[in-house]
Amino acid sequence: MEEKITKPFSPSDVIAALLTFLPEEFSNDPAKIHSTIAQLQKEEKYRYLLEDFEFLNYDPCPYSPLLGRILNRLQESRLLSSINPGYEKYVLNKDSRKAIKVDILDKKLRDQKDNLVQIASKLQEAIR
Amino acid sequence: MVTQSLPEDIEEFVKPLLESHVSRQVIGRKVIHDPILGSNVFEPYEIGLIDLPFCQRLRRISQTDVASLVYPSSTHNRLEHSIGVATIASRIIESLRERLTPRSKNSVSPMAETEVKAAAIFHDIGQGPFSHLSDAILKQFPEVIEYRKQHPGRFSEEKPHEMLSHLVVKSPIFNQYLKDEIVLKYKLPDINIDRIAEMIIAAGEKDPLSAWQANIINGPFDADKLDYLQRDAYFSGLKIGIDLDRFLHSVWLDIRSRPRQLKVMTSGAITLEQILFGKVLLYNTMYHHQKVLAAECAVRGIFEILEDNSEYKICGRRMNRAIDFLHVSEEDILSSDEKPEELREYIQRFLHRDLFKRALVISADTVVNPQKSIGYKDFKDLVDDPKGLRDLRRKLVEALNNKYSIYDIWIVLPQTSTFSDEALRAVIQDPGGKPQSLREPFRVDEWLTAYWSNKRKDYVFCPAGKAEREEVGRKAAELLHDEYGFSLKRGAFEQAKVR
């Protein structure tokens, strides 16, 4: 609990920052997104970034209600959107990408950039 | 500091209730009449379970917390809902049996049926007063957080009542009582009480042969949803439909899959979509109706006053442990007897429906260029940070020169609903065909999220009065700009309809 308070970033900051290292459009497959984050969370070097996500042991894959809510909240706040009419891909447009880079990545997560790039790369591989 | 573990607290709750309960042998089946599900036969043991004090307590817990202040006929309670879940669970079991071959009929055994019905009856016994309002408080209690951490992957952070229901059923004294007074008395098959407890929680039963039982109680298209969506819509007067008969004609048990799973034939996929549509419509029109949210603030205020004043109690309880919420009823909270003046004032206002009014409406439509700044996202993150949200309210009170109490000023961010977990877990498959999740043919979850994102609103509420509302709205907008860096359009004030 104490650790949570002292962190300079929130779980939604981590997810938003991760998305900036993905292509402008990327697949919105929740099974792969949740499974990948659940898997990477177990690795020591990513724990600091990902430990706030609690995963339920669901079938067919682990599911984090917090991660689900954050992905929806990023859409509610218009930073992220789904492409109509198929809704198969998320889009992080240039304005949002720039805002996240300036206000989250550079200010709150600068020292975690390498880890974020690695997580994003593994996520991209999973959802490709 | 945690002094006693949650299971120990639960044991203390269960023991006196069972000791004072006079168990009577129920003779013969009974019929329970229901406005939605018609007349249904219940076995003697089911009536024995419903008669337990843990279930009777649910008569005094509103199914839709304070929604009856806006939808006057929405006064149904958690017991009616629990009986409805047991009825639908029973119908699902019948449907599964119809679709099994004579050789595989044993897969849905009388033992499995009894366990499922018991889990249906017990699934909400951990609910506190005002249902979801209690959940929002319970999830912050140290003993609840501690227990969840000790059991990773099993309990949803959002629904602590599931954990409490599970622990009541799992408690040794309750377990023994069920064996002695229900299983033996009614000559039931050799049921597994631990499995009943597992079915109640989000990620419970993992035995591959019995996981399907948990699907009926806590799955993507479970009896719980099939009941509450119909019941809450019916009693509130909203025309939201679920074609239960069609669902029952299409649900089947795949005994070849591991784990054994409930699946729905392609002809019934529409009913799964109805469940998701029903959920989003009910949230939009009822659970997150601005007036319902304002009414909830009145109750939250009562809980906050209790939290801030350690000498205040309800029925001798501090209301600072999860167990207190199982001992206390809604009537106990709303009665003015022997309560301090400060509490009585807020209780009276609630009882007289003297509700807070909108001062500001915050949504993607009323924020200037939300996609160009992270401020609006940071503000929305407060939904998962109750302490941060309260700090923001305190700052607003200060900006208003402390003219108001913090219990009169509310910034409300309704919780975000998600649809992808259900759409992902719901399996559509014809016998012998290829399985696919509900979201595979079309991303119905993302489509609903887009709909939801356009409908969702956050609010600032304050006491009635044109001048007061205008001032609070103006100061709140300034505060949001100062703290989060986003500006609001004129619509944020206009949608508050200050007159």
**Shared-domain flag, residues B248 and B386:** no
Residue B218 lies in a domain: yes
For B115, B122, B141, B160, B416, the CA distances from B167, given in Å and listed in that order, are 16, 11, 16, 11, 27
Identity of the residue in B153, B415, B445 whose CB atom sits nearest the CB atom of A56? B153
Cβ–Cβ < 8 Å for B348, B356: no
CA distance A11 to B8: 33
**Shared-domain flag, residues B65 and B191:** yes
For A8, A33, A51, A90, A117, the CA distances from A40, given in Å and listed in that order, are 21, 11, 10, 21, 13
Q: What is the pLDDT of residues B100-140, one digit of tens each?
A: 988 888 899 999 999 999 999 999 999 999 999 999 999 99
To the nearest whole number, what is the mean pLDDT of chain A?
93
* End-of-domain residue from the set B249, B271, B287: B287
Residue B304 lies in a domain: no
Residue B102 lies in a domain: yes
Q: Which amino acid is at B325?
A: F
pLDDT score for A59: 81
Residue A4 pLDDT > 70: no
Extract the residue ranges of chain B whose pLDDT is less than 50: 2
Q: ∠ CA B307-B298-B2 to the nearest 5 degrees? A: 25
Q: Distance from A81 to chain B by nearest Cα, in Å? A: 8
Number of domains in chain B: 2
| Neighboring chain A residues of B378 at a CB cutoff of 8 Å | 10
Residue B43 lies in a domain: yes
**Shared-domain flag, residues B280 and B364:** no
ipTM for this model:
0.95
Residues above pLDDT 90, as percent of chain A: 91
CA distance B394 to B387: 10
Longest dimension (CA), chain A: 44
**Shared-domain flag, residues B254 and B399:** no
Residue B434 lies in a domain: no
Residue A51 pLDDT > 90: yes
What CATH code is carried by the domain that includes residue B89?
Answer: 1.10.3210.10
- pLDDT-wise least confident of A28-32, A58-62, B41-45, B426-430: A58-62
pLDDT score for A58: 87
The tokens describing B98, both together, are: 């119809």
Residue B94 lies in a domain: yes
pLDDT score for B336: 77
Q: For residue B151, give the nearest of B209, B197, B93 by alpha carbon.
A: B197
Q: A99–B424: do the CB atoms touch at under 8 Å?
A: no
Cβ–Cβ < 8 Å for B300, B341: no
Identity of the residue in A65, A82, A104 whose CB atom sits nearest the CB atom of B158? A65
DSSP for B231-294? HHHHHHT------HHHHHHHEEEESSSSS-EEEE-GGGHHHHHHHHHHHHHHIIIIIT-HHHHH
Identity of the residue in A16, A69, A103 whose CB atom sits nearest the CB atom of B416? A69
To the nearest whole number, what is the mean pLDDT of chain B?
95
Closest CA in chain B for residue A103: B374
pLDDT score for B446: 95
Q: For residue B265, give the nearest of B23, B428, B459 by alpha carbon.
A: B428
Residue A98 pLDDT > 50: yes
Range of the domain at B365: 356-416+456-499
pLDDT score for A5: 55
Residue B319 lies in a domain: no
Predicted TM-score (pTM) of this structure? 0.95
pLDDT score for B363: 97
Q: A99–B374: do the CB atoms touch at under 8 Å?
A: yes
**Shared-domain flag, residues B376 and B278:** no
On whether any CB of chain B is under 8 Å from the CB of A91, the answer is: no
* End-of-domain residue from the set B252, B287, B322: B287
**Shared-domain flag, residues B382 and B236:** no
pLDDT score for A2: 44
Residue B199 lies in a domain: yes
pLDDT score for A3: 46
Cβ–Cβ < 8 Å for B449, A75: yes
